[in-house]
Amino acid sequence: MSDSIETGNASSLKGEKGIVRILKATRYSMMGLRTAFLNEAAFRQLVLINVILQPIALSLDVSRAERAILMIVPLLSLAIELLNTAVENVVDRVSMELHPLSKNAKDMGSAAQFIGLVMIVVAWLVILV
């Protein structure tokens, strides 16, 4: 099987169990991260935010719980961006035609990402100010 599945029947990918399923799921996850990093500027920007904020969070004189919040919230924003990109890809796969439901789906994904970014700012402000 190639690293990129472009067409075919996805049912052949189902049914693995145990460690094989875990290894394949891990491989697919790594492929998804790679694809997002190579193709999505917003994802790369969030990676940069994490590269900056994670070491700062580790160096701050805050409680362990506060440090965990400062480190986890930016990571959650990465996860939200992956889901937002997945929604956009599925909508585009279904149809490139302009449609109110397609717009709603993409706008809601974008709104979720906006909330994720607000969470980063709020967490840092609450803990540091």
Q: Within 10 A of 32 (CB to CB), how many other CB atoms are there?
A: 13
60 within domain boundaries = yes
Q: Would you say 98 is a known binding-site residue?
A: yes
pLDDT averaged per 10 residues, the chain (length 129): 57 78 95 98 97 96 97 97 97 96 97 97 96
66 is an annotated ligand-binding site residue? no
Decide if 53 is inside a domain: yes
CA distances from 87 to 34, 38, 57, 103, 119 (A): 17, 18, 31, 11, 21
d(C-alpha 22, C-alpha 88), whole Å = 27
* Residue 10 resides in a domain: no
Q: Is residue 97 part of a domain?
A: yes
List the catalytic residues: 81
Q: Flag whether 88 is marked binding.
A: yes
Residue 50 domain-assigned (yes or no):
yes
Residue 105 lies in a domain: yes
- Could you tell me the residue range of the domain that residue 116 belongs to? 41-128
User: Is 16 known to sit in a ligand binding site?
Assistant: no
CATH number at residue 123: 1.10.287.3610
Q: Is residue 79 part of a domain?
A: yes
How many structural domains comprise the chain? 1
| Residue 107 resides in a domain | yes
